[in-house]
Structure 1
Amino acid sequence: MKGLLLTSLWFQGLWFLAVLGREPWQWWTLALVLLTCAITLPRQRKPLLWCVGIALLGIVLDSVNLLAGLMVFSSPQLPVWLMALWLAFAWYSWWLLPILHGYSKLIIVPVAAVAGAVSYLAGAQLDAVMLPFGNSLTAAVLLCQWGILMALLLWLRGKLA
């Protein structure tokens, strides 16, 4: 439980660094995320492939959201700090999913969907992202996306076990 708490606090710290620091601190954020992965991931192929694959999946998802106009950032392309945040999430999920595996997916998926959507709404409140379609519609779309993403991650992580 102590490891889960420390890992969760570290991930939240990376989230705040990315969202509050945005472009001025994005290279520091990326460096810290890469250092976190290098120090904490086992020297095996699976964790590395997991982190790269999940980060790329998230980057593609947010790129689609950006192209669809669901999100707007200060630059026309997906910012580096958000891509670093996806890598941080992939790292966090590598450690978190085995712990969650013992719980019902009927609990995990909705909780993760809410948490994922809320993180974007919080980012909007902190001026890291603009949500042109408003909070309600954006939250509904993100809830669906994060629910599907979490179900996929649970399935994939089960295959790797």
Structure 2
Amino acid sequence: MPLDHNIELSYSVKMLLARIGKLTTTQLNLINLLMFQAVWWLSILYQNSAIAISSGLLLLHFALSSHRQSDLLSMVKVVACGVIIDSLLTYMQLFEFQQMPYWLGLLWCHFAISLRYSLAFTQRLPFYINAILGGVFGCISYLAGARFDAVVLPQEYLASVMILFSVWLVIFPIFVIVSRQR
């Protein structure tokens, strides 16, 4: 009997993989949107305790993607810039973390991937619209993280808002350009 069970399991895995290969762009974008939101909330609420789930979801993305190499290349570029920027902001004492925020690196990975999937619509927007979207939503993301104690913003609130808005006003459109499929 165990042999029959293994054959059934193997068949089920093959069917699942075949089905995954037939996902539409809309389905992939929806899956990406849900994964990014899940990772954002898990990271903000559980920080380094969410690393295993965030890593697993990142691996799931690459299992589903038919553009693994270009996804990886785009992700490396965006993550490198994002981690450098966050490190500089931490060095400049705009951010403080209770512990080393490894979760933030994974959040950057998922954000980078979302630029090519659920946020792909930004590829068609003018630079200035992406700048405004980045300024507003990038800033809001960090403010929400501070509200949930994932990060401390030790500077005066308005100064933090202005700096975050300005940084994201510049970097989001650049990230959109960097993430374009080649």
TM-score range, shorter chain: 0.7 to 0.9
Cα RMSD, aligned residues only: 2.1
Count of residue pairs brought into register by the alignment: 157
8 Å CA contact retained: 1:131, 1:138: yes
* Matched residue, 1:106: 128
Which deviates the most, 41-50 or 61-70? 41-50
- Residue 10 of structure 1 aligns with an amino acid whose one-letter code is M
* Matched residue, 1:151: 173
In structure 1, stretches of 5+ residues that fail to align are none
Displacement of 1:96 after TM fit? Answer: 4.0
8 Å CA contact retained: 1:121, 1:135: no
Question: Residues 28-43 of structure 1: matches in 2 within 5 Å?
Answer: 28-43=52-67
Give the TM-score normalised by the residue count of structure 2. Answer: 0.76
Question: Residues 6-85 of structure 1: matches in 2 within 5 Å?
Answer: 6-23=31-48, 25-75=49-99, 77=100, 79-85=101-107
Q: 1:97 to 1:123 in 2, by over 3 A?
A: closer
Q: In 2, distance between residues paired with 1:115 and 1:22?
A: 20
Find the residue that maps to 2:75 and give its secondary structure.
Answer: helix
8 Å CA contact retained: 1:66, 1:72: yes
Q: 1:61 to 1:33 in 2, by over 3 A?
A: farther
- Percent sequence identity over aligned pairs: 26
Q: 1:28 to 1:157 in 2, by over 3 A?
A: closer
Describe the superposition over 1:13-72 as per-residue Cα deviations: whole angstroms up to 9, x where unpaired: 11001110113x133244234323322333442221111121121111111111111000
In structure 2, stretches of 5+ residues that fail to align are 1-24
* Matched residue, 2:152: 130
Q: In 2, distance between residues paired with 1:7 and 1:140?
A: 30
- Residue 110 of structure 2 aligns with an amino acid whose one-letter code is A
